[in-house]
Chain A
Amino acid sequence: DAGVIQSPRHEVTEMGQEVTLRCKPISGHNSLFWYRQTMMRGLELLIYFNNNVPIDDSGMPEDRFSAKMPNASFSTLKIQPSEPRDSAVYFCASSSYTGELFFGEGSRLTVL
């Protein structure tokens, strides 16, 4: 299996622009997670889905952030409008019934 696939790997944008991050989980995994990692706060869970349904989005910073999972093989995390403080590495991860979590390589976002 190719593992969890994220795109883009790097994104540089200007404040106020819309950013869309994409994730393809490992085939057969039923849970998908979006994390954000910064030096100051470490890894933070933003939202996770079970069987394509959002279960806990309490980690989403504010209404500018939204996530969707239209099917079992695709998810998006959208930031609109983006702000400089959103600069971070965003990770997608997936897991099966065993609970073992597998991460993608991350999307490094820089908002100028």
Chain B
Amino acid sequence: KQEVTQIPAALSVPEGENLVLNCSFTDSAIYNLQWFRQDPGKGLTSLLLIQSSQREQTSGRLNASLDKSSGRSTLYIAASQPGDSATYLCAVRSETGANNLFFGTGTRLTVIP
């Protein structure tokens, strides 16, 4: 069974700093990987989707990379802002198992003004 790990569980950074969130998975036979953010009391908002054939995706200040062979993905946030404070989750869809996504437990990010 696919296992997804996110380290650290929590991270605090001063405003303006660039930061990297990590996601690792145990089975490299993936269909895609998706990064979400979740604000307290809210649903999950899709940030970036990387298909298995892609190496990275970018949206604004966000850049996500994927290294299937090593079972790793990173989410890079440039010039962090207090509004970036949220929990960030990665989810992996395996090639087998059809539509099931395996979620990490998330990294809770706090950007200090």
Interface residue ranges, A against B (CB under 8 Å): 4, 31, 33, 42-43, 45, 48, 50, 55-56, 91, 93, 95, 98-106, 108
The winner among B34, B93, B99 for most chain A CB atoms within 10 A is B99
For the complex formed, measure the closest distance between the CB of A95 and the CB atoms of chain B, giving whole angstroms. 7
Q: Which B residues touch A99, using CB under 8 A?
A: 31-32, 49, 51, 93, 99
CB of B43 within 8 A of CB of A50, answer no
Q: List residues of chain A with CB within 8 A of the CB of B93.
A: 99
Interface residues, chain B, CB within 8 Å of chain A? 31-32, 34, 36, 41-46, 49, 51, 89, 91, 93, 98-101, 103, 105-106
Q: Would A48 and B99 count as touching, CB distance under 8 A?
A: yes
Q: Looking at chain B's contact residues, is the secondary structure mostly helix, strand, loop, or mixed?
A: strand
Extra contacts besides A101-B34, A102-B46, A105-B42 (8): CB < 8 Å: A42-B106, A45-B101, A55-B99, A56-B98, A91-B44, A98-B49, A100-B34, A105-B43
